[in-house]
């Protein structure tokens, strides 16, 4: 049976494992080597995530529709993993660039992703919102 290709999640897990191993290594040279490998795995994961996001966005453009809600949240989570606290800024830049090019559907998609990121990053409940 053929092996399946590694996923972004598996690459992220490899990177975490390598960083943990790097913390346990005494030699500075070996620590740097392991961290470089971890960075490489993070870059591979980001490439897979970017390709998946671009595929979804291309499909939206071809059909003239917005993303499904689940794809919006997945993309938001992926961008937060890649860009951390700067994910919202990155998304706003994409939306502005597309709007400037009169790609209003593309801008709307990125704005929707931006709202999902803002919701995921929100620290406090809205007024009157119940907590679990």
In this prediction, residues 10-36 reach a mean pLDDT of: 84
Does some domain include residue 126? Answer: no
128 assigned to some structural domain: no
Mean pLDDT of the chain: 82
The answer as to whether 39 is a domain residue is yes
Q: Does 109 have pLDDT greater than 80?
A: yes
> Which of 103 and 1 is assigned the larger pLDDT?
103
Higher pLDDT, 1 or 64: 64
d(CA 69, CA 50) in angstroms, rounded, equals 18
Confirm whether 63 is domain-assigned: yes
Residue 65 falls inside a structural domain: yes
Is pLDDT of 34 > 60? yes
For residue 132, pLDDT beyond 70: no
Torsion of CA 34, 12, 5, 36, to 10 degrees: -20
Q: Are 114 and 91 in contact (CB under 8 A)?
A: yes
Containing domain of residue 61, as a range?
Answer: 8-121
* Residue that is written with structure tokens 């049976």 in the block: 1
Is 14 within a domain? yes
Domain count, the chain: 1
The answer to whether residue 37 scores a pLDDT higher than 90 is: no
Predicted TM-score (pTM) above 0.85: no
47-101, pLDDT tens digit by residue? 777 777 777 777 777 877 777 888 889 889 888 888 888 889 988 988 888 888 8
What is the spatial distance between Cα 68 and Cα 71, in angstroms, rounded to a whole number? Answer: 5
**Which pLDDT band holds residue 5 (cuts at 50, 70, 90)?**
low
Structure tokens at 67: 């993303």
Tokens 């931006």 sit at which residue?
114
Q: What are the two backbone dihedrals, phi and then psi, of residue 20, each rounded to the nearest 5 degrees?
A: -65, -40
Among the listed residues 69, 79, 81, the one whose alpha carbon sits nearest the alpha carbon of residue 112:
69
Cα–Cα distance measured from residue 132 to residue 123, given in angstroms and rounded to the nearest whole number = 14
């Amino acid at each position: 049976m053929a092996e399946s290709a590694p996923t972004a999640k598996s690459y992220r897990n490899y990177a975490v494992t390598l960083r943990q191993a790097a913390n346990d290594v005494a030699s500075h040279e070996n620590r740097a080597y392991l961290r470089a490998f971890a960075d490489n795995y993070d870059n591979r994961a980001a490439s897979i995530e970017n390709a998946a996001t671009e595929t979804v966005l291309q499909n939206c453009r071809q059909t003239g529709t917005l993303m499904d809600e689940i794809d919006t949240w997945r993309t938001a989570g992926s961008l937060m993993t890649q860009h951390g606290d700067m994910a919202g800024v990155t998304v706003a830049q994409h939306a502005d660039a597309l709007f400037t090019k009169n790609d209003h559907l593309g801008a709307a998609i990125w704005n929707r992703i931006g709202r999902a990121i803002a919701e995921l990053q929100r620290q406090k409940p809205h007024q009157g919102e119940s907590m679990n």
